[in-house]
A and B are shown apart, each in its own frame.
Chain A
Amino acid sequence: MDLQSAKMIGAGLAVIGLGGVGAGIGSIFASLISSIARNPSARAQVFPMSMLGFALVEAVALYALLIAFLILFT
């Protein structure tokens, strides 16, 4: 196997972690919706927390993407 195709396969493998991130973001917003549905007055307190959680989980996705970029372009 030559180097270029190995790099392509490696970059593809590196972004498998995005599956976990998808599950994480889904879980954050599912619990946000159910908590607001149960207690709509809690929205103002719960929403910033969910945004923080979303940003933290999304950062994990970007670590995987970063590894893929490093494999492809260096």
Chain B
Amino acid sequence: MAAAPPEDSPLHQFVIQPLVPIHVGNADLSFTNSSLFMVVAITLVTLFLTLGMRRQNLVPGRWQSMAEMSYEFVAGMVRDNVGSAGRKYFPFVFTLFMFVLFGNLLGLLPYSFTFTSHIAVTAALAVTVIVGVTLVGIATHGLHFFSFFVPKGVPVALLPLMIPIEVISYLSRPVSLSIRLFANMMAGHTMLKVFAGFVVLLGFLGGWAPLAMDVALTAFELLVAFLQAYVFTVLTCIYLNDAIHLH
């Protein structure tokens, strides 16, 4: 493992610092800045939804319609991708979406920490999704679930080749799901810091060009933050649909 990057490195923003050290045996369970921002994200989501729906007006105000829009957005996503069988799993998908979205958006604030830029966090989310989806599939179909790995309309001679490919592609889903989110967040935030470094290097006269670029990149990162939360949840819905409906 490499040493912690120096203070002026673009990667310094991703360093995890323990705030409240907790050690149980040999395990390091410290409350870190990553945990702090997860708590902040969950608090913000809870406040956003509960306070937004405090006065349930028939004609919603701005805040209430934001809360309703986020609910309606995820509900539509589950309905379009999984169908009515997915209604049971809507609370999980909605929680996942809001957690990832608020994590991505909180990371855009200066001096904050992006917990979704760590593979430990995204891999834990992705593994939870995949294991949960597989269990749902086995619970719904029993052993018939494993017919998922046998593609339809393939000659029997090709099956010894096709089944391992299907199994490998199924097992690589959590890998691609977690790396996509974490690499997007890490690369975007590193790029912002690299351009901010150019502002200092070029000084007062030439520094305006990278500064303008940084402003544009921040807008782009806002889009990416939303898009990656959307992609993460839409792929969760697609995997859930595969498990419930088997092709």
Contacts and interface: CB of A to CB of B under 8 A. Distances in A.
A3 interface: no
B11 A58 contact: no
Which of B9, B187, B228 lies at the interface centre, i.e. has the most chain A CB atoms within 10 A of its CB? B187
Contacts of A56: 180, 231
Given A59-B180, A63-B179, A73-B2, A51 B227 contact: yes
Interface residues of B, number: 17
B173 to A, nearest CB: 13
B183 interface: yes
A73 B11 contact: yes
A34 B176 CA distance: 30
B184 interface: yes
Contact of B184 (A51, A62, A69, A73): A62
Contact of B5 (A52, A54, A63, A73): A73
B180 A52 contact: no
Sort chain A's interface into a size bin.
10 to 19
Nearest to B176: A59
B231 A52 contact: yes
B148 interface: no
Interface string B220-231: 000000011011
Contacts, number: 40
Contacts of B180: 55-56, 59, 62
B183 A74 contact: no
A14 interface: no
A35 to B, nearest CB: 19
B39 to A, nearest CB: 28
Interface residue SS majority, chain A: helix
Interface in B1-27: 2, 5, 9, 11
B240 interface: no
Interface in A42-73: 51-52, 54-56, 58-59, 62-63, 65-66, 69, 73
Given A51-B227, A55-B231, A66-B179, 19 more contacts: A51-B230, A52-B230, A52-B231, A52-B234, A54-B227, A55-B228, A55-B230, A56-B180, A56-B231, A58-B184, A59-B180, A59-B183, A59-B184, A62-B180, A66-B186, A69-B187, A73-B5, A73-B9, A74-B2
